[in-house]
Amino acid sequence: MVQVDISQLTTECNGWREKLRQYREEFTRDEAKLQQVARQALDKDQLQDVEHLHNQFHIQLINIHDLKQSIKAHDRKMNFERVAFNGFVNEDSLSRHESLLEEVQLLEQTLLDLRAEFNTFLHRTP
């Protein structure tokens, strides 16, 4: 058992979830924009891009949801451990916290890449 500042870890978890919530809202709006573009007359390559982007938005929205749920479960577990073990947290929970940080950073990079890909697509289409 390790004694740590649970409030700092909880604040980090809340920050990650808020960031993911913002990405979810952004990509939901982008999906709607993509549907508007898809209504236009597009060539074969553009239609393939629409399909690819639609699939990526769907996949990444699922990834955002799943990671948010993992963070929420982790936060609950840490708070349970804090109460159950007099302010101490299991070392596995600290390790999981670091792992979740890496997952957030990796997903964020993927989302930034998708954002750039979508913006490039929008600039190439009428």
**Which two tokens mark 49?**
């891009």
Q: Enumerate residues 6+ apart whose C-beta is below 8 A from 118.
A: 30, 34, 53
Cα separation of 103 and 73, whole Å? Answer: 15
Helix axes 6-38, 91-124, angle to 10 degrees: 20
User: Once rounded to an integer, what is the mean pLDDT over residues 36-52?
Assistant: 95
Would you list the domain boundaries of the chain?
2-124
Q: What tens digit of pLDDT does each residue of 99-125 get?
A: 999 999 999 999 999 999 999 999 998
Cα separation of 93 and 13, whole Å? Answer: 13
Would you state the CATH architecture of domain 2-124?
Orthogonal Bundle (1.10)
pTM of the model: 0.91
CB atoms near residue 76 (< 10 Å): 12
